[in-house]
Amino acid sequence: MPVDITEDMIIRNVVENYPQTAQVFQAHGLPCAACHIGASESVSQGARTHSLPVDALLKDLNHAANGEPLEGVKPRTKMPTGKGIPLQMAGDTKPKIRNIIAIMSGKGGVGKSLVTGLIAIALQRSGLKVGVLDGDITGPSIEQMFGVFGAPIKNETGIEALVTQHGIKIVSMNMFLPNRSDPVVWRGPMISSAIKQFYNDVDWGNLDYLLIDLPPGTSDAPMTVMQSLPLDGVVIVSSPQMLATTIVKKAIGMVNTLKGRIVGIVENMAFLRLPNGDRMEPFGSSNGADLVAMTSAPLLAQLPIDPAIASLCDRGRIEEYDSEEFTALAENFIKAVTIVR
């Protein structure tokens, strides 16, 4: 009896029952189906997500499922990963990375990307080889902070990460967008797929540390990193405001639930240094001690609200930053992370 694939069938089920259709999905621009990452949408829903004609997709799917020749369908060398956003991907490059650390919070706006950048700079200044994977797919900021722009190219061993002025390897979603202001309109499965691709398909080379800057929340992106990547530890970022601390505790709970290791706490925007030398706490007293007690992890630093940081980040020159608090963060992080792999 001939196979009849219909538009209301779930993509995952179609691929599982008819593996030859994975190539068709990929060729039409549905890479999440081809790599089996959370393809829980129906065929028609997936087609709408990627602005594809469902009739043409169904025709080719049925040809493939019934063993009939396809009409010139070939896998794309450039896999569209959103509405017209080309993201070239290669094979598994098996990166030689000694330590992988995720920086997370659960709360948006507390400075995860900043802390990721500062830790990367600290490690690089210590003579270590460092890479940064910007896991905030829909709101990337790492490339702006480091002033690294342009599109990565693909070599024989994978995608070449862009390199900062001082040698830190960077991969961020903005590097793959035609325009840096283009939105990435994706559901969770596509975001998870992109994070995995950034890890597997980028030629990271030999790194002492790969830092992963995670987006807010406790859903797809952090779950993917914690469950699918060989993670060695997590740095938790918070701010003194009780509203932020409450949300951060959810992230800590997630790490504990998934049996992760918290290597330290960073409290950002802890104070403002006034011209007369006094310290003002605009977001209230520190809650760092509570988080330390909750995690049994050290407080790595209390970072100030520093206009110099904002200026350097905006100009892509964060690698020039230095301060007493930054030095403390660098020293304490290197002490805390004693990982043997």
**For residue range 253-280, what is the model confidence (pLDDT) as tens digits?**
999 998 899 999 999 999 998 989 898 9
On whether residue 58 sits in a domain, the answer given is: yes
Q: What is the pLDDT of residues 204-233, one digit of tens each?
A: 999 999 999 999 888 888 888 988 899 999
Bin 158: left if φ > 0, else alpha if -120 < ψ < 50, else beta. Answer: left
Do 243 and 195 fall into the same domain?
yes
Do 70 and 104 fall within a single domain?
A: no
Clarify whether residues 140 and 53 are in a common domain.
Answer: no
Per-residue confidence (pLDDT) for residue 107, from 0 to 100: 87
225 and 157: one domain? yes
The dihedral through the CA atoms of 317, 322, 323, 327 has a sign that is positive
Assess if residue 53 is contained within a domain.
Answer: yes
DSSP 87-110: E--------EEEEEEEEE-SSTTS
Whether residue 201 lies inside any domain: the answer is: yes
Tokens (6 digits) for 132: 């940064």
Residue 264 lies in a domain: yes
For residues 261 and 305, state if they share a domain. Answer: yes
Range of the domain at 211: 96-336
270 lies in some domain: yes
Per-residue model confidence as pLDDT tens digits over 282-300? 988 888 888 998 998 999 9
Average pLDDT value for residue range 76-85: 37
The predicted model gives 291-318 an average pLDDT of 93
Same domain, yes or no: 27 and 130 = no
- Could you tell me if 153 and 23 lie in one domain? no
Q: Could you tell me which of 201, 188, 196, 190 has the C-alpha nearest to residue 212?
A: 196
CATH of the domain at 48: 1.10.3910
pLDDT in tens, 232-254: 999 999 999 888 889 999 999 99
Choose among 74, 50, 65: nearest CA to 6.
65
* Confidence category of residue 154, pLDDT binned at 50, 70, 90: confident
What's the rounded Cα separation, in Å, for the pair 182 and 178? 7
Instruction: Residue 327: give its domain's CATH number.
Output: 3.40.50.300
User: How would residue 51 be classed by pLDDT, with cut points 50, 70 and 90?
Assistant: low
Decide if pLDDT at 90 tops 80. Answer: no
Co-location of 137 and 259 in the same domain:
yes
Total tally of structural domains belonging to the chain: 2
Same domain? For 299 and 247 the reply is yes
Q: Do 155 and 279 reside in the same domain of the chain?
A: yes
Residues 16 and 162 in one domain: no
Same domain assignment for residues 177 and 29: no
Q: Can you give 109-173 as a three-state secondary structure string?
A: CCCHHHHHHHHHHHHHHCCCCEEEEECCCCCCCHHHHHCCCCCCCEECCEEECEECCCCCEEECH
Query: Does the residue 159 lie in any domain?
Result: yes
pLDDT exceeds 50 at position 81: no
Residue 86 lies in a domain: no
Of 41-55, 71-85, 140-154, 273-287, minimum mean pLDDT range: 71-85
